[in-house]
Amino acid sequence: MTPAFQRPSGEAQSSFFQNDSGRKAATRNWAVAYTDGGSRGNPGPSGYGVVILGEDGSVLGELSEFLGMRTNNVAEYSGLLAALEFALANGHPRLRVVSDSELMVKQIRGQYRVQSPDLRPLYEEAKRLIAKLEAFQIEHVLRGKNKKADELANQAMDRGMRRKPEGKAGLSGAPVAAEAPPVRPLRGIVKDGRINLLEGSIPEGTIVVVMPEKALGQRAGKS
Q: Which of 13-22, 85-94, 118-127, 207-216 has the lowest mean pLDDT?
A: 13-22
Whether the per-residue pLDDT at 135 is higher than 80: the answer is: yes
Count the Cβ atoms, other than its own, within 10 Å of residue 181. Answer: 10
* pLDDT interval class at 74 (50, 70, 90): very high
Query: Looking at per-residue confidence, does 55 or 97 come out higher?
Result: 97
Provide the mean pLDDT of the chain.
Answer: 78
Bridge partner residues of 135 (DSSP): 94
Q: Name the strand (E) or helix (H) holding 51.
A: strand 44-53
Instruction: Give the domains, in start order, of the chain with CATH numbers.
Output: 10-160 (3.30.420.10), 188-222 (no CATH)
Residues 90 and 2: their CA atoms lie apart, in Å, by: 26
Query: Looking at per-residue confidence, does 207 or 104 come out higher?
Result: 104
Query: Looking at per-residue confidence, does 97 or 200 come out higher?
Result: 97
pTM of the model: 0.64
Cβ-Cβ contacts under 8 Å for 67 (sequence gap 6 or more): 37, 46, 47, 48, 74, 75, 78, 156, 160
Task: Give the pLDDT score at 199.
Answer: 58
Is the distance from CB of 214 to CB of 185 less than 8 angstroms?
no
Positive or negative CA dihedral for 198, 200, 201, 206?
negative
pLDDT digits (tens, 9 = 90+) for 145-201: 999 999 999 999 999 998 654 444 444 444 443 443 444 566 677 776 677 765 556
Please state the length of the chain: 223
Residues 64 and 159: their CA atoms lie apart, in Å, by: 10
* pLDDT interval class at 140 (50, 70, 90): very high
